[in-house]
Amino acid sequence: MKKKKIKTIAIITAGGSGNRLKSDTKKQFIEIAGRPLIFWTLDKFTNHLEIDEIIVTLPEDEIKTYSELIEMNILRM
């Protein structure tokens, strides 16, 4: 009998407000070295050999901004 591999899912909660950073930009969208912070986080999980799926949670009003950043990043690749 074959053993089933357990699926490993990374859940990234990107709900930072940026208040402690004294920024009007939400923390996950603050640029570091030319990229939003959330992209640096996603890179670590995307390149991890044991992660099968990534789920990003965001405040509802930030989903459009996130989607637009993803589209822009894909087009630059």
Query: What's the pLDDT at 75?
Result: 47
- Asked if residue 61 belongs to a domain, the reply is yes
With bands split at pLDDT 50, 70 and 90, how would you rate the model's confidence at 74? Answer: low
Res 21: pLDDT: 73
77: pLDDT strictly greater than 80: no
Residue 24 lies in a domain: yes
Q: Taking 60 as the threshold, does the pLDDT of residue 66 lie above it?
A: yes
Could you tell me if residue 65 is inside a domain?
Answer: yes
Q: How far is CA 24 from CA 21, 30, 32, in A?
A: 9, 9, 15
pTM of the predicted model as reported, rounded to 2 decimal places: 0.72
CB 27 within 8 A of CB 18: yes
Domain for residue 26, yes or no? yes
Q: Are 11 and 42 in contact (CB under 8 A)?
A: no
Q: What is the pLDDT of residues 5-64, one digit of tens each?
A: 889 999 999 877 767 777 778 888 888 898 888 888 888 998 899 999 999 998 888 888
Number of domains the chain is built from: 1
Query: Could you tell me the residue range of the domain that residue 22 belongs to?
Result: 9-76
